[in-house]
Amino acid sequence: MTLEKGSLILLDYTAKIKDTNEIFETTRADDVKNNPDYDPNKKYEPRLLGVGEGWVLKGLDEALLESSIDTPLNIEIPPEKAFGERDPSKVRMIPLRKLGEKANEVSIGDVIELDDRIGIIRFIGSGRVQVDFNHKYAGRTLVYSANIVKKLDDDNEKISNLISRRLPIDLTEVKYETKESDLEISLPENTFLIEGIQIIKRGISTDIFKFIPSLKSLVFLEKYTNSVSDAEKPSEAKNTDSGPDKDTSNDKDEKDKKEDSKIEGKSTEVRPKSKKEKS
C-alpha cells in the first residue's frame, strides 16, 4: 500500500552526497559513529514526516508518495529537486573590510552571515574576499538510503510526536489529556522560558489541528512546583513532653505571669491586626 498525502510517518534514513559519499544527514547512529562529525550527545532516532507536506526536499517528498511501508528505499535526487543548481550570480567579490571586526579572523571555507544571507568564503586575497551565497550542496546529486519505520494512525501517537517535533523534549515528558473534542497539554517546567515558546505553541496547535481535525480546541497548561526542599522549610517547634512524668508544678505560675504581661501591655505574642484594629 502506497502512502497518501498527509500521512504521518517515522522515517529512518541516511543522506549522502553522491560524488563524494559524504554523509550530510542521518537518523542512524551506527552510520556516523566513526565520523568526526558524530555527536555522542545527539539522540539519533527516526524522524517524523508529513508526507507531501514540504517538510523535506521536493525529491524526497515525491519519492515517499510512491513508497510503501516495509519496503527499503534507495532514492537518488537531482540538484533541481534538492538544493538547486549553482547560480554564478550568487558568488560575489567584496572588500575584506566589509566583514568588520571579523575581517582578520575568517578563512576559506568559513560560513558567514552578510546582508541577512548565509554565504561560504571561497577566496581571500588582495584585500578582497569571495563569498558564495549558493547553498553548500547546490548543484549536487543526493542519495538517500531509507525505510519507513511506521505510519502513525493512532491520535495519541500523532499528538506526542507532533509536540516533540517542535519542542526539544523527550516523548516521556509529554503529558496531555483529551476530553471529547478538547485537548489539554501540560508542558514540563523546563520549557516555559524557551525562546519563542509562544510561536512554538502556535505551531504545535496548527500541526495538531491539521492532522487531527476532530479536535476543536487546545489548551496549554503551565504547572509550577515548589522548589524549596523540606530541609529548607522552617521547622516547627518541637514537643518537649517526656510523657506522663512531666513536671507540671509551675504551669499555673507561668500562666499567671503570661496573663500579667498581657495586662501590662507587654505580651510577647504577635498576630496580624484585624481590619477593625487597623482602622
pLDDT in tens, 55-113: 999 999 999 999 988 889 999 999 999 999 999 999 999 999 999 888 888 999 999 99
Q: How would residue 244 be classed by pLDDT, with cut points 50, 70 and 90?
A: low
Nearest to 98 by CA among 109, 120, 111, 113: 113
**C-alpha to C-alpha distances, 113 to 86, 124, 125, 131, nearest whole angstrom:** 19, 16, 19, 10
Q: What angle do CA 121, 126, 129 make, to 5 degrees?
A: 20
- Which one is predicted more confidently, 224 or 199? 199
DSSP state of 17: E
Quick check: 129 and 96 in contact, CB under 8 A? yes
Host H or E run for residue 156: helix 155-166
pLDDT in tens, 202-229: 999 999 999 999 999 999 998 888 877 6
Q: Is the pTM of this model over 0.85?
A: no
C-alpha cell of residue 173: 515528558
Q: How would residue 115 be classed by pLDDT, with cut points 50, 70 and 90?
A: confident
pLDDT in tens, 17-30: 999 999 999 999 99
Q: Which residues of 57-68 are buried (b: 16+ CB within 10 A; e: fewer)?
A: bebbbebbeebe
Q: Which residues contact 129 (CB under 8 A, 6 or more apart)?
A: 93, 94, 95, 96, 99, 106, 121, 123
Q: Which residues of 192-202 are buried (b: 16+ CB within 10 A; e: fewer)?
A: eeeeeeeebbe
**What are the chain's domains?**
1-85+138-153 (3.10.50.40), 88-132 (2.40.10.330), 154-227 (3.30.70.2210)
Quick check: 145 and 13 in contact, CB under 8 A? yes
- Residue 138's identity, in one-letter code, is A
C-alpha 263: how far from chain center:
65
Q: State in Å, rounded, how far the first CA of the chain is from the last one.
A: 80
- Which one is predicted more confidently, 239 or 69? 69
Q: How would residue 262 be classed by pLDDT, with cut points 50, 70 and 90?
A: very low
Give 131's Cβ-side CA count (13 Å radius): 20
Model pLDDT, residue 212: 96
Model pLDDT, residue 230: 59
Q: Share the mean pLDDT of the chain.
A: 85
